[in-house]
Chain A
Amino acid sequence: MSEGDFREQPSGRTALPFLKSPLTRFVAAAVAWLPVTFGAWYLLAPILLWPVRLLVQLVARFGFGDLVRGIDPGGSTLSFITTLKPGEGVAAGVVSVDVNMLVYAFGMPFFAALTLAAREGRWWRTLALGYAVIVPFVAWGVLADFLKGIAIAAPPAIASQTNFTQWQRELIAFAYQFGSLILPAVVPAVLWVLLHRAFLERLRARGSG
């Protein structure tokens, strides 16, 4: 995507008249960047999600050390090996919960597409900052998914071993719903707005002018 795509013609008209509006140009560029950023994100997922894995391991170790025996990485999936038993009468075996980190990380390519489409200066710094901010929210989604798996979705014989109180289960349910339905898409959009205030001001000035 280059500036030349939207270059004005000598007559003062753009090659594609509907692309004259800066907002339309931004949307077209964002849609064009999405396949590129999604492709790069998927290919680089093991690297991009490595800090998420570290953060999740850190929180699991210090926050839920009594529930998590270990975390096995498998590409973009984390397998939580718990200390919970499959149920009474089962002599051996432990409960494990798999969480696909990609489900909570699609905000990374989304944010990248928005940032690249805006074509502001120091975009690489914005990308780095956005990535750093999004990582903890991805970790939130992954951890909440794991906790939902053992405290709510698991059979009563397993869930009862977690010793979570009713309000803690409610909190886990809310954290999971908020972390899966709201945060993955909203965080990159809000972050983009906050980091592109000058772009928005220019957009507004043209819109009201």
Chain B
Amino acid sequence: MLRFFILFVVLLAVLFGLELTPWAQDWFVVPWTTALAHLSTSIVTLFDGSVVSAGKIMRSTTNGFAVSIEAGCNGVEATLVLLAAMLAFPAPWKHKFLGLVIGIVAVQLLNILRVISLFYLGQWNYDVFEWAHLYVWQALIMLDVLVVWLIWVRRVPRIDDAGIPPGAPPALAAG
């Protein structure tokens, strides 16, 4: 557990540092956030045609209310946490890859729900919007990351800290 914890912290700090670089912002974070706003708007327009997106902004053409998807609300940090947690945990690479693909989809789906819910909460009551935005959804997204990780951890085969599966032949274990 100690090895996992240290590796997780180091990976998270490195990944987060990389995310803040201008290169990552220009080539990944900004396009990702723009795509998120566009996708969220596309979903909303299935039942509300008065919503448009421009860049990272979702806007109602009815009342002018708009939300700008900023850092922390684009799901990138939650994804980095999941990435660091799965990479740090001893598991076969195939399981890590599969877990990351499914896990990132799960986190991003809930994040789309967050963006859409905040868009409507803001139009309904600004105090509720602030509460949901600053506190509640932050916890829910991290709960989502934790649950995805727990589900994944339950399913991966056990490997000890040296990367050797239990029950491995002695020659393999010794090597």
Query: A and B: real partners?
Result: yes
Binds A, one of B11-19, B53-61, B117-125: B11-19
Main secondary structure of the interface of A (DSSP, over half): helix
B142 contacts the other chain (CB 8 A): yes
Whole-angstrom distance between the alpha carbons of A102 and B138 in the complex? 12
* Nearest-Cβ distance from residue B111 to partner chain A, whole angstroms: 13
Across the interface, do B20 and A106 meet the contact criterion of CB distance under 8 Å? no
B172 contacts the other chain (CB 8 A): no
In the complex, which of the residues B77, B142, B150 contacts A110, with contact meaning CB atoms closer than 8 Å?
Answer: B142
Whole-angstrom distance between the alpha carbons of A194 and B2 in the complex? 9
Across the interface, do A190 and B136 meet the contact criterion of CB distance under 8 Å? no
Residues from chain A with a CB closer than 8 A to the CB of B136 are: 34, 38, 106
* Nearest-Cβ distance from residue A167 to partner chain B, whole angstroms: 14
Whole-angstrom distance between the alpha carbons of A180 and B153 in the complex? 27
In the complex, which of the residues A30, A114, A185 contacts B138, with contact meaning CB atoms closer than 8 Å?
Answer: A185
Across the interface, do A38 and B135 meet the contact criterion of CB distance under 8 Å? yes
**Among the interface residues B17, B135, B147, which one has the most CB atoms of the partner chain A within 10 A?**
B135
* Nearest-Cβ distance from residue B16 to partner chain A, whole angstroms: 6
* Nearest-Cβ distance from residue B10 to partner chain A, whole angstroms: 13
Across the interface, do A23 and B154 meet the contact criterion of CB distance under 8 Å? yes
A-side residues, CB < 8 A to B, are: 23, 27, 30-31, 34, 38, 102-103, 106-107, 109-110, 113-114, 173-174, 177-178, 180-182, 184-186, 188-190, 192-194, 197, 200, 203-204, 206-208
Across the interface, do B150 and A203 meet the contact criterion of CB distance under 8 Å? yes
**Do A102 and B154 contact each other (CB < 8 Å), given the known contacts A174-B17, A182-B12?**
no
Q: Which of B30-61 contact A (CB under 8 A)?
A: none
Q: Which 6 A-B pairs have the closest CB atoms?
A: A207-B154, A185-B142, A110-B139, A106-B135, A181-B72, A181-B77
B134 contacts the other chain (CB 8 A): yes
A-B contact pairs, 10 of them (CB 8 A): A27-B143, A109-B139, A177-B71, A178-B16, A181-B16, A182-B77, A185-B139, A194-B1, A204-B154, A208-B154
In the complex, which of the residues B5, B153, B157 contacts A200, with contact meaning CB atoms closer than 8 Å?
Answer: B153
* Nearest-Cβ distance from residue A190 to partner chain B, whole angstroms: 7
Residues from chain B with a CB closer than 8 A to the CB of A27 are: 143, 147
Residues from chain A with a CB closer than 8 A to the CB of B71 are: 177, 181
Whole-angstrom distance between the alpha carbons of A109 and B145 in the complex? 17
* Nearest-Cβ distance from residue A148 to partner chain B, whole angstroms: 13
Residues from chain B with a CB closer than 8 A to the CB of A31 are: 143
Residues from chain A with a CB closer than 8 A to the CB of B150 are: 23, 200, 203
* Nearest-Cβ distance from residue A188 to partner chain B, whole angstroms: 8
B146 contacts the other chain (CB 8 A): yes
* Nearest-Cβ distance from residue B73 to partner chain A, whole angstroms: 10
Whole-angstrom distance between the alpha carbons of A181 and B141 in the complex? 12
Residues from chain B with a CB closer than 8 A to the CB of A180 are: 72
